[in-house]
Structure 1
Amino acid sequence: MQQVSSFQNQDTGTLYLVPTPIGNLDDMTFRAVKVLKDADLIAAEDTRHTQQLLNHFDIHTPEISFHEHNTEQRIPELIEKLKGGVTIAQCSDAGMPSISDPGKELVAAAVREGIPVVPLPGANAGLTALIASGLVPQPFYFYGFLERKHQQQVQELQQLRNRSETMIFYEAPHRLKKTLKTMAEVLGNKRQVVLARELTKRYEEFSRGCLAEINEFYMNHQPRGEYVIIVAGNPHPDEDGKQDETGTPIEQIDRAISEGLSTNMAIKLVAKKNKLNRQELYKQYHNI
């Protein structure tokens, strides 16, 4: 078992994980500002974006870019700096490093090398939305971003649909409508959901209702800003799980349709689950 505290290895630098505001700059902590000022180097997801934060708090620490596209190149470089005694503060554009943002690979590499890793508490969009959602706050299941393609989303949500915990997702505005429709297909129109938009900013907004109501609202409204989607857990996962495995394929299709899936999607999912030919099941269901 490896145990390394931030004070044990004085021959190396320390990797600090610094959360940054998700909107309101006043949410920056005194400690976070101090760490960014005292660090030798800041590893930032977007140096231009972080520079605005540094300017606001009169921080002059040099930056280096560290994002998902240069991870392989940067990690060996940053680890060598840490081994040489350089103290690095790593931060993403908003919120906590590693939570749907860069950071986890660097942390893992630092841990392997016995380099101290010190996390700072701070802003997190998922938890901020959860505590104001009105849904059961614990237990919760954090998922983050779903895959972008429809079929991949369906497969992911099928794996999640019987979870009893409240679930937390992130979504970009230009993909929100499609994601909500897919959620209704798989989870059912009656599932309760809360959308949190532009958290901590001037136009912060919460939308609450079932998926059918939320989808109807966004038929006439254009999504704006970044979203956190809080989805109520399934209150009867054991019953639903048993039902999914019982009945003929035709009965399974009817059940899936009654829960909000389109006919074609229900046929596709039932065919895959039962290892049947989709075209033949389609003909059978429609009596062709």
Structure 2
Amino acid sequence: MVSTPIGNLEDMTLRALRVLSQVDLVAAEDTRHTGLLLQRYEVHNQLTSYHDHNKEKKTPKLISFLKSGRSIAMVSDAGTPGISDPAFYLVRAAVREGIEVVPVPGPSAFLAALVGSGLPTARFVFEGYLPQKQPKRLKKLESLKEEERTIIFYESRHRLKQVVEDILVTFGDRPMVLARELTKKFEEIFRSKTSEILTHISSKSVRGEVVILVAGKPKK
């Protein structure tokens, strides 16, 4: 399980480069994207795709490959594999088969956002992506309304305004942080109340993937 940069190519670790060079196969969500990344570091290795649309069919094949004594490096499009991506399915299958799983730590968007947010970091909960359809999304948010820990979500820029509106309606006007384009040239970490963030994103075009962090429910 090899972590790769979330934007800044200087964040690739020496260990990750060594592992990617030495394994028998690199499994990636998008082989074109990962191919360019490996080319940038002059790493030459065989690539295979592993994503949400082929994971059911591909998992047994990769497990068979591993059981033959060969090795695979699993990478996501960016950051740490297994966080809100299909790598979890391969890891679960490998564990069930008694195959060793080795994490090669590195960049993670939600952790980078958390430590730079100014919100409490001692206790937090990561919820990944909220449901796309609003009724299910509101139901999910309602289930988190009493949560006292810092709450973290990933979100697409296309749904951002609607999601922030739903958070405001469900949680009230809590402290919120939006982190986008992390580690890149136009990195932005915007800290304010939820209502002010809603005004902020309503008046400008938000680019890139976004991490949303919301303060937990205040203790009485």
TM-score range, shorter chain: over 0.9
Match of 1:216 in 2: 199
Alignment of 1:258-273 (within 5 A): none
Q: CA deviation at 1:85?
A: 1.1
How many residues are matched?
220
Q: 1:64 Cα shift?
A: 0.3
> How far apart are the structure 2 equivalents of 1:119 and 1:206?
28
- Greater RCO, 1 or 2 (C-alpha within 8 Å, sep 6+): 2
Within a 5 Å distance, the mapping from 1:91-130 to structure 2 comes to: 91-130=75-114
* Structure 2: gaps spanning 5 or more residues: none
Residue 214 of structure 2 is matched in structure 1 by 231
Q: CA deviation at 1:226?
A: 0.7
- Residue 102 of structure 1 deviates from its aligned partner by 1.8
- 1:223: how far off? 1.4
* Higher fraction of helix: 1
Q: Equivalences for 1:123-202 in 2 at 5 Å?
A: 123-188=107-172, 190-202=173-185
Task: Give the Cα separation in 2 of the matches to 1:230 and 1:217.
Answer: 15
1:8 aligns with: none
- What residue identity is the alignment partner of 1:194? V
- Alpha-carbon distance in structure 2 between the residues aligned to 1:213 and 1:178: 14
Q: Of the candidates 41, 51, 54, which is equivalent to residue 57 of structure 1?
A: 41
Deviations 1:33-53 (A, max 9, x none): 000000100001100000011
Q: How do 1:6-45 residues align onto structure 2 when only pairs under 5 Å count?
A: 17-45=1-29
Query: Which one has the largest radius of gyration?
Result: 1
Moved over 2 A (4+): none
- Over the residues paired in the alignment, what is the CA RMSD in angstroms? 0.8
The whole-number CA distance in structure 2 between the counterparts of 1:218 and 1:203 is 16
Q: Matched residues, percent identical?
A: 50
Q: Compute the TM-score of the two structures, normalised by the length of structure 1.
A: 0.75
Structure 2 CA distance for aligned equivalents of residues 220 and 110 of structure 1:
47
Using the TM superposition, give the Cα deviation of residue 109 of structure 1 relative to its aligned residue in structure 2, in angstroms. 0.7
